[in-house]
Amino acid sequence: MDVTRILQKMKIGDTAGSCSVLAALSHIHVQFEVKDANQNRARILEDTAELLANAPLSWLFPEVNTDFRGQYVSLVNSFTRYAALPVCDTDSGTLPANNYEDIPAKAQAVSTVLLALSQQIQKALENQNSPAIRSLVHTLAPTYCIFSITHLQEQPWTSAASRKRARELLTSAVKLTGSRSVQELLSGKIDEDQEGVLRQVLDTLQPELTKESWKRNQAVKHVFSWVLVQVGPAWLVEYLEKVFPPSLLISDDYRTENKVLGVHCLHHIVLNVPAADLRQFNRAQLLYHAVFNHLHTSEAALIQVVLPCLVDLLSVLEKPPTFSGIPRKPNRFDNILRHVLTYMEMEHKLDLRRVYAKNLVLLIERMGIVIIRHLKRLERVIVGYLEVSDAPEEECRLSILDALQKTLQIAWPCIEKRIGLLTRSLLRFLVDVSSDSIPTQLKEHLMTEASHCLLLLNHCTKGKLQPLLREVDSSCVPDPVFMCIQKVTAAPLCL
């Protein structure tokens, strides 16, 4: 179908259906914005996609001026607003799923139009590569980016079809800008000193990320976090003032899902911004107090993101241990470990026990030899956690065995006087596991890890454990346990 027939179908132009692209775009915009046009907007989008896909480049991009680019931008903005999420005025910042029922179809229709336009712009770039076309790409890219990311993620306002279209649209934006990836689209090309669209994207999101407005649009926090984690250390420091306050704001909410999202953003900032910049203006201290307050929660999902964030943040706040022979003074690492051990001792929920056990390993590794200050409580926690099964995966006990191995490797000079308690605990663990009805492969894994702990205990005590184990009567323990003991007693001592 040629342009004239499409224009006639859309009732644009004179009786012959002819008019300039500026007049056509203006007419479409006016018709689309009419108050009672709800029933016709889907048809207008369909016709516009057809028009853009079939019109010749010479008609679509006949000249270069501000009005030309402005008309395209106005129309694109109008279309994207059509698929915008309904405003939420509740304190929770969420709406029932049925409020978003019509959004996927709208987003899919808008994406089809934007894809048709991007394909034509791509052809124009290949044929003309004029500064005006490149300027149009630079102007539209942030809108394409925000719109596609809004409908890219699995959320109540998306469907499989709308997500597919959004991925195609984001890919087209990457291609249009000559980028090699989404990260390059956002951040730019560092080797060519070329800036991406991140600044424009953040500037667009900024008014919606204030204390008064960030809950009115449920998508904005997800778009912000998605964009943020795409930005690496080479660029993020330049935008720190734009991303740090919204991340703190989201993490300070009363809803757990928002806290998790905010801490996730803050952790990315900690990992990708130089320590000196984090310490400037007391940012790191502010961040520490904000995140530490979340440690008092009973939500496993939140603890899972908070503990790794704090451990990495403490590496920024605290000086690394020295080897001068001068004991390091207790610091916030010690405070965090004491807090974790206290909560671990009294925790009975299996999901929280798994999270604490998993992150205990990380804390032990980062603290190094100063872990000896906490050996008594740490030993109590390890022994207690080995006694409680968290079948069927046994994630908690596997993590605790890993923590025990790390402790033995780091604090071996102080282990000898604890050999009795730890050995008894590990032998009880082996007997329990050998009789548990768990998958064979997992059972073998658990027993192997416990045997490795016994080997490390033997090395820590310079072979004093082997004579004790040789006294174990094979008739008193199950065969799998006795085989583990034999592996330990037969192992050579490596000093």
Reply yes or no on whether the pLDDT at 463 is more than 70.
Answer: yes
pLDDT at site 264: 97
Could you tell me if 309 and 267 are in contact, meaning their C-beta atoms sit under 8 angstroms apart? yes
The helix (run of H) or strand (run of E) holding residue 189 is: strand 188-189
Task: State the average pLDDT over residues 50-54.
Answer: 90
Q: Is 194 helix (H, G, I), strand (E, B) or coil?
A: strand
Task: State the average pLDDT over residues 216-221.
Answer: 93
pLDDT at site 15: 47
Buried/exposed code over 304-324 (b: 16+ C-beta within 10 A; e: otherwise):
bbbbbbbbebbebbeeeeeee
pLDDT at site 250: 96
DSSP 327: P
Lowest-confidence region among 120-129, 178-187, 207-216, 222-231:
120-129
- In whole angstroms, what is the distance from residue 64 CA to residue 133 CA? 8
pLDDT at site 155: 94
Task: Decide: pTM greater than 0.85.
Answer: yes
DSSP 271: H
Nearest CA among 130, 8, 129, 21 for reference residue 70:
21
Mean of pLDDT over the chain = 88
Task: For 90-135, write each residue's pLDDT tens digit.
Answer: 877 788 888 999 999 999 999 999 999 999 999 988 887 778 888 8
Read off the pLDDT band of 465 (50, 70, 90).
Answer: confident
pLDDT at site 103: 95
Task: For 368-377, write each residue's pLDDT tens digit.
Answer: 888 989 999 9
pLDDT at site 495: 46
